[in-house]
Amino acid sequence: MATPASSIPRHVAIIMDGNGRWAKDRGLPRIKGHEQGAEAVRECVEGCGDLKIEFLTLYAFSAENWQRPKAEVFALMHLLERFLKEKTQELFDKNVRLQAIGRLTDLPPSCQKQLHKSIERTSGNNGLTLILALSYGSRLEIIDGVKDLLREVQAGHIDSAMIDVEMFSKHLYTRYYPDPDLLIRTSGEMRLSNFLLWQLSYTEIYVTPKLWPDFTRQDLFAAVEDYGQRQRRYGLVCSD
């Protein structure tokens, strides 16, 4: 795909939707959709590498997902742990740095341990940064940020009058990363689902009817090409 570097988003975020429907359409258990979705992750990571995208954030497991049937949650945690065990060396070889955001201590201990090992293994890489949003909810993130700021005010480290957008952003889970330039949502749903509400303020949104397990790097390229044709205004009026 020949795309000018200036039209490539620095940070892509994806709401990976449609795993359950993909499985249902084929008469398969829901977990089979999630397993196939893991293959789509590989396609997307490799596609981002091809395009020299710097950051990719995947909405892998929301805070609300804990309310799903226990058997499905257990299977998802097992799939996450297996994915990390099997793919960490591949990520390392492809110069991908793995990171994670969310209330990670909510994950089962074995998942936390493997996640930490995978993050540590790839910490020296300087290519694509792959950020997994796990046990993540944007409203919870904002609340955690407010609490963090309050603690600093109460401790006398900062004055409340100093709090502004930039300072608050530094107290979010995403403090080390730029805001996404492009959000992709699969399965045709037109909602944000409590994902990066603060960070997506001026992000370009691309929705595809494809279910996540069917998403390929060519679909990623199409989304990036669409992004490259847009004029980002950030609330300003621009002349044509």
Positions marked active-site: 17, 65
CA distance linking residue 113 with residue 161, whole number of Å: 40
Q: Are the C-beta atoms of residues 30 and 65 closer than 8 Å to each other?
A: no
CA distance linking residue 22 with residue 34, whole number of Å: 9
CA distance linking residue 187 with residue 189, whole number of Å: 6
Phi, psi for 180 (deg, rounded to 5): -65, 140
CA distance linking residue 200 with residue 217, whole number of Å: 23
Q: DSSP labels for 175-212? A: TTSPPPSEEEE-TT----TTSSTTTTTT-EEEE-SS-G
Residue 178 DSSP SS3: coil
Handedness of CA 235, 171, 9, 134 (dihedral sign): negative
CA distance linking residue 33 with residue 36, whole number of Å: 5
For residue 57, give the DSSP letter. E
Q: Are the C-beta atoms of residues 10 and 53 closer than 8 Å to each other?
A: yes
